[in-house]
A and B are shown apart, each in its own frame.
Chain A
């Protein structure tokens, strides 16, 4: 009981003290915004409407949206017009005498039938658009998209190319320690790359909870659901960078798992693909290589920043996950540490299973990093082959 009251008091105090900061924020808000003004293009600010997008489907949806919008506006003008007319003309203060009428079957019928006809007129284009959107046949390229807490994984089916895409905005930007960049929260370390004028089919699923893959300019939004594979398609017509976000509440970092699509000319795409394959090849070669402590540490720090800070904190101090500073795992037997990273924690679904999310070099580096960062100073290190051996032996 005492514990609860203590917790209660401290939480209330916390919230209260932060609310007290509000006037300060209100006053400084203008400046903070002014600072980011430069970053945001005027045309983008005060954005009022849906984007027309860069595909035939997105334009069709935009047209549908505008059509229905204007129908609603006109109905509104008529109905509210009559209403305001009565409110002005039929006031007691201007001597209006109330009429007696209170029903009319003919009128009731009219305002049942007329809206019904308008609805049918709306339903026709909506149906034809929907049929188009659902036609996922005859795709040129298939890309599997997997939602994870809290990043996207892309796999080019039949190409042996795949990678994770993480938010690349820094924690310092989020917490206001440095100015926010132009694409604040809408930037990733590795974008999805697609060629223009090709029919791309997305096969969308999730690994843990629900997510939704949404890029407004492509007008593609599909829920990513564990155990299901949803499909969607797009043909992008203009090269460019298109940004979107996860659109289904997926836990703590739901606001921090953006999507970036890079659409390019076919030739550029082929070059990119070749580069990726080359990279995979080099990675395979590197698997058997030996790295120096410094190399491991530096690489591990990057891996940690991209994959772990959300739960374990910038300095390993913990948060959603436990503190990694001096913990039984990070400063205990190294095999237990590898096991946690490769297989996750038994009975706990929050700590991801990284065994097949990170490659062996990244696993070796991040483990080495954690064992030597933040005063853990274990002095030991791992090579990719150690991870390979561990995986083989289990």
Chain B
């Protein structure tokens, strides 16, 4: 485990690096930048919705904001953050010296900034940026789209290529680079969930690529895949999109399950309850995610048989998801708990993700979905699974592993303050959305009827609180990297995993000789 050659100097280090830790760091910073950008878009939305009437932006710009907010958060913030964590952690967790395909690793990161530059540049183009929602349903996104849609399509292609390369790398690393003795059923759950996520990505990213390619053909080459006037089918678009889109939702949550499964046992000082059942539950969720896509389309006019099939299949997902929650609770039960910042985020993750799961179960009931569909109830639902789900788990992971990465402890008081600000901000923002949704407010509207005014005002105030507390997060992270109490090698009390057996900060090269596995 020598430090015999360290990182190169200057910008070249980052441009040419094949080191999994450097690449992980770049992914994480990139993701945070996109998180702030997507957050600014969200605040423009919430500022406009602060009161009825049109005040700050025009409807056409509002639609660009909802679209770009979704795209930036899904493809720019959440997915790269998980890839960054995977890069940092998977080699250290399985006892490998680096990722299996380090040069491809460099490439899969470095094409991302170009994809997003392309996407963001559309905002300044004639006719504006994409304005058809992150789900870009045809024909609004084809025949009726602004000219910038072509840039959007290429940006999606590049992001897809990046994700596929990242996934191949992760699968190759996990299957080939484990230290001798690290059997599959000994792998930490974060590794397991990422292995399954990577397969999901490889399965569905090409479907998304196919979808946007058909759009491209319709727009520029006179085909009519999605145009009824030319003999095509606008509903086909939705089936193809959601065949990608539903597994995508799980792509954004499975690694979060892995993170919670690492953090909760450490701070409960008790091994994870039901490791094997966690693995099976993850695999079942992944399988089910392929056969539920049309629950996003209950109002599209499917035959009743299809409607029933997708309703039952969707309800079924509650079973393995429930198993996971029960396992986490049992891990805490009769433990010896402390509540450091990562644990606070992890607990909030379990509770709030479950609330999102409950509203998901309600949405699965097709007849009731006729009332919920495309309202703020849905917005509340998916923000409850994604913000406390994906985002909180990523923050928990950063607090949990940051001392290992940079060798310094973060300031616990500041960390807790950040947690509480985020927690309050999040609930104040998204909880009232359940109410306005049930009361009948459709999503994606720049202006609304007067009876929705009060809750919208509250939600907007929560959003600004949540937004500004993330700037505070940035401050805490930078402060920790620049100094602070030195972290021990173990960092926490008896944490489980190979990453805690190496020094803090983790040397540039680790496990150049495989560690012994108990």
Q: Which residues of A contact B (CB under 8 A)?
A: 4, 7-8, 11, 15, 18-19, 21-22, 25-26, 29, 32-33, 36, 39-41, 44-51, 60-61, 64-65, 68-69, 72, 75-76, 79-80, 82-83, 86-87, 90-93, 96-104, 107-108, 111-112, 115-116, 119, 122-123, 126-127, 129-131, 133-134, 149, 173-176, 180, 182-186, 208-210, 212, 214, 216, 219-223, 225-228, 230-231, 244-256, 320, 349-350
Contacts and interface: CB of A to CB of B under 8 A. Distances in A.
B422 interface: no
B459 interface: no
B33 interface: no
B54 A123 contact: no
Contacts of A184: 52, 449-450
Contact of B330 (A76, A87, A107, A129): A107
30 contacts: A4-B124, A19-B47, A25-B51, A29-B50, A32-B53, A49-B435, A61-B368, A83-B351, A92-B337, A98-B334, A98-B336, A102-B270, A102-B271, A102-B275, A103-B275, A108-B323, A115-B319, A119-B315, A127-B311, A130-B367, A174-B54, A208-B144, A212-B299, A214-B374, A214-B442, A225-B235, A230-B301, A247-B373, A247-B374, A350-B144
A223 B451 contact: no
B481 interface: no
Interface in B436-466: 436, 438-440, 442, 444-451, 453-455, 457
B140 A126 contact: no
B361 interface: yes
Contacts of B351: 80, 83
B365 A122 contact: yes
Interface in B267-299: 268-277, 299
B370 A79 contact: no
B311 A133 contact: no
A115 B60 CA distance: 45
A97 B337 CA distance: 9
B89 interface: no
A50 B440 CA distance: 7
Contacts of A186: 449
Contact of B450 (A134, A149, A180, A214): A180
Nearest to B436: A47
A93 B449 CA distance: 51
Nearest to A227: B228
Interface string B306-317: 011001100110
Contacts of B338: 91-93
Contacts of B354: 76, 79-80
B205 to A, nearest CB: 24
Interface in B350-404: 350-351, 354-355, 358-359, 361-362, 365-368, 370-371, 373-375
Given A29-B51, A180-B52, A50 B301 contact: no
Contacts of A221: 299, 370-371, 373-374
Nearest to B447: A255
A174 B447 contact: yes
Nearest to A80: B351
B269 A130 contact: no
A254 B444 contact: yes
8 closest A-B pairs by beta carbon, nearest first, are A227-B228, A255-B445, A47-B439, A230-B301, A72-B358, A99-B334, A129-B367, A102-B271
Interface of B: 43-44, 47, 50-57, 59-60, 63, 123-124, 131-133, 137, 139-140, 143-144, 228-229, 233-235, 268-277, 299-301, 304, 307-308, 311-312, 315-316, 318-319, 322-323, 325-326, 329-339, 347, 350-351, 354-355, 358-359, 361-362, 365-368, 370-371, 373-375, 435-436, 438-440, 442, 444-451, 453-455, 457
A48 B435 contact: yes
A130 B454 contact: no
B323 A98 contact: no
B442 A247 contact: yes
Contact of A65 (B269, B311, B362): B362
Nearest to A43: B451
Most chain A beta-carbon contacts within 10 A, residue among B55, B312, B322, B370: B370
Given A119-B315, A209-B140, A29 B457 contact: yes
B374 to A, nearest CB: 4
A68 B58 CA distance: 39
B234 A227 contact: yes
A102 B271 CA distance: 6
A167 B271 CA distance: 61
A33 B270 contact: no
Nearest to A204: B301
B132 A72 contact: no
Contacts of B347: 83, 87
A91 B132 CA distance: 49
Nearest to B350: A83
Contacts of A127: 308, 311
A90 B51 CA distance: 46
A251 B142 CA distance: 12
Contacts of A129: 367
Contacts of A256: 59, 447
Contacts of A44: 451
Given A99-B270, A115-B319, 7 more contacts: A92-B337, A108-B277, A122-B365, A175-B53, A208-B144, A209-B143, A247-B373
B381 to A, nearest CB: 12
B63 to A, nearest CB: 7
A303 to B, nearest CB: 22
Contacts of B450: 36, 39-40, 180, 182, 184
A86 B234 contact: no
A318 to B, nearest CB: 13
Contact of B365 (A45, A68, A108, A253): A68
A50 B330 CA distance: 35
A4 B124 CA distance: 7
A251 B140 contact: yes
A216 B373 CA distance: 11
A229 B45 CA distance: 34
A216 B440 contact: yes
Contacts of A216: 371, 440
A4 to B, nearest CB: 6
A97 B336 contact: yes
Contacts of B332: 83, 86-87, 90
B453 A123 contact: no
A339 to B, nearest CB: 21
A250 B301 CA distance: 18
A115 B137 contact: no
A221 B331 CA distance: 43
Nearest to B359: A72
A180 B54 CA distance: 12
B200 to A, nearest CB: 22
B329 A223 contact: no
Nearest to B445: A255
B329 A79 contact: yes
Contacts of A149: 144
Most chain A beta-carbon contacts within 10 A, residue among B43, B44, B301, B375: B301
